[in-house]
Amino acid sequence: MITTSSKLFYGLGAGALVASIVWFIANDGGSIGSVALLFAALSLVFLGAIASFTRDGHVLSTDTASHASSGAAQRGVSNSIWPLGTAIAMGFVVVGLISSPGIFKVGIGLLIAMLGEWMIQNWSERGSSDAAYNAKIRNYVVHPLELPVGGALLLAVIVLSFSRIMLSLSHQAGPLVFAVAGAVILAFGTLVGFRRSASPRVIGAICGVALTALAGVGVATALDGERAELTKAAEEDHFAHRPCGEEEEEADEDASRSVSAKSSVQATVILEDGVLYAEVDGFEGAQQSITLQRSNPSTILFINRDAEPHRMVVKYGKVVEDLGGGVERETELEACTSKVEEDGQQAVTLTVPKPSYASEEPFEITVPGVEGTKIDLVVP
């Protein structure tokens, strides 16, 4: 017997079969697409057969007593927020189509999520006459998706808000806020740990208020903008990492890797009392020469102990590029820190492609504006 829903599956199956044949002919026997469509056709026909066999799960039309007592007949679908969510998601999609691909993608994601939730609510709330059972089967299906995605979103809100706050704070206030926030979280966790009788609702409410406050402050600081030196650095294009720019003051260039880069360096170059010297692990005292391995990413840390801001410049030869047609371009190889304030430090990582003895110009480290002092760079 061909039931209502089996017609749909049989129809789709037939369509897939036709598409498979068309694909096979149109692609000169291309097999992957036609095999995929053939499998789709078989799967759909199989589903149609199941629908036929179970008669769409309907009770007999003549069995009116069953109609009256069936769970589905007893309960309707309750009010739902998902149509509203779907409308908002559609709004994102439309706005995104006009304005930016990012918003469009977010809208598509939201649309899929809203439609999914809507569909599952409709399905689960018609499952039986028992609301608790319906909620259970709904959660059974949706929780494996909802919980990780919700957790990730929550984490993203926390991380994003916290990062906006930290970027807006000054160098001095940042570590302080970080330490205080950490201590407060630790104290709260300890308190909860010791007071096991504390109501989960109270704890949840406190966490909710804290999260809302964090997100609120995050949004406010994001609107207010980053701290002054970062704004200035962005204006001066520090983050383009072009060699030896014209920036006027220190910025925490490439800050994301500075902690690890500073922890294990090839050498530390120090400017003190108008003299440049290096400290190298294993060599005793101040060094006037550093040996770096060829073709090896090497990090040199610069510490400025002078009252004025200074920049360290590493010169390591030049490269000649063949531009074709007998034209060559010569580029001087150099790496610099941005300007470093008194007692500040900044790491620079460079890879020297050629040995120093292959260059006519010496490889050296200098500080512009501080004459008569340099460090030789030896690359064997």
Partner 1 sequence: MNKSPRRRIMAAVGLLAGLAFLAGCAKDAPQDTWQPAGPNAEQIDNLQQPVFLVAGIVGVIVFVAVAFAVIRFRDRGQAIPEQTHGKPALEVTLTIIPVLILIGVAIPTAGTIFDLAKTDDTEMVINVTGQQWWWEYDYPSTGSNAEAYGVAEPIVTSGQLVIPENTKVLLRVTSRDVIHSYWIPKLNGKKDGVPGRVHLLRLEGSKPGIYAGQCTEFCGLSHAYMRMETVVLTRADFDAWVANQLKSYESPAEGTLAAEGESLFIQQCSRCHQVNGLTNADGAPIIAAPEQYVVSGAAPNLTHLMTRNTFAGAAWDLLTEECRDDVWNATAEDFGGKYLAGVSAECLNQKDLREWLRNAPEKKPMYADPTKLQETNGKYRGMPALGLTEDQIDALVAYLLERK
Rg (CA), the chain: 34
Q: Around 286, how many Cα atoms within 13 Å sit in the side-chain half-sphere?
A: 10
Q: Is 331 in the site for partner 1 (CB under 8 A)?
A: no
Stretch that binds partner 1, among 104-112, 248-256, 279-287, 333-341 (CB under 8 A): 279-287
Q: Residues 247, 338: contact at Cβ < 8 Å?
A: yes
CA 277, CA 303: separation in Å to the nearest integer?
A: 10
Looking at 97-105, 122-130, 332-340, 349-357, which segment touches partner 1 (CB under 8 A)?
349-357
Nearest residue to 241 via CA among 254, 252, 230: 254
Asked whether position 293 contacts partner 1 by CB under 8 A, the answer is: yes
Q: Tell which residue, 341, 162, 358, has the closest CA to residue 252.
A: 341
**Alpha carbons 329 and 268: distance in angstroms, whole number:** 33
Positive or negative torsion for Cα 122, 123, 129, 131: negative
Instruction: Between 194 and 357, name the residue whose CB sits nearer to partner 1.
Output: 357
Contact with partner 1 (CB under 8 A) among 295, 308, 332, 362: 295
299 binds partner 1 (CB under 8 A): yes
Return d(Cα 133, Cα 127) in angstroms, integer: 8
Out of 358, 361, 362, 368, name the contact with partner 1 by CB under 8 A. 358
- Judge whether 19 and 37 are in contact, CB under 8 Å: yes
The residue within the footprint of partner 1, chosen from 294, 305, 318, 374 (CB under 8 A), is: 294
Residues from 210 through 269 that contact partner 1 (CB under 8 A): 260-261, 263-266
Q: Which stretch binds partner 1 (CB under 8 A): 129-137, 268-276, 334-342, 355-363?
A: 355-363
- 133 lies in the binding site for partner 1 (CB under 8 A): no
Interface pick for partner 1 out of 81, 187, 198, 378 (rule CB under 8 A): 378
Contact set with partner 1 (CB under 8 A): 260-261, 263-266, 280-284, 287, 289, 291, 293-299, 349, 351, 353-355, 357-358, 378, 380
